[in-house]
Amino acid sequence: MVKKLFFFSITAILISCNSIVNNTSVLGSIPESSYPLRGFSKVSVHPDKVLKMRTSCDLSMRIEIVQAKNYAETIVELKNRALIIGGNAVSLSKWKETTNSTYLVGKIYLCQTKPFHLHPHPIGI
């Protein structure tokens, strides 16, 4: 009887302490413009097909970004995120820009050797 009472009291205590909050919303202010981090120039933008085919490149992360910024500032944010997680090459697999926002699906790669960089970019990228 004492064992049952002890087991019941321990179970009741554990159940009452289980109050995990499931709040997934994030609040905060967005800076007006994007600023490149130190090492920004080491992250290059390549076609996704080229990075997929290279055996020296490993996909680190696929990320969807929706921002109230233009294309150039959104690419700056993507390259900054690549720096933070240790990637050195990024690619775009989807991109849509409206007058109010930019949506893109970017992929961050870690490449031992990167392909030659040919295609042009907007100023500042």
CA torsion through residues 97, 98, 101, 103, sign: negative
Global pTM exceeds 0.75: no
Q: Is 110:58 a contact under the CB 8 Å cutoff?
A: yes
Cα separation of the two ends of the chain? 73
CB count within 10 Å of CB 93 equals 14
Task: Give the strand order in the sheet containing 57-67.
Answer: 44-45, 89-97, 102-111, 57-67
List, for residues 39-58, the tens digit of each pLDDT value: 888 898 998 998 999 999 99
List, for residues 58-101, the tens digit of each pLDDT value: 999 999 988 888 888 888 999 999 999 999 999 998 889 888 88
Q: In whole angstroms, what is the distance from residue 69 CA to residue 80 CA?
A: 15
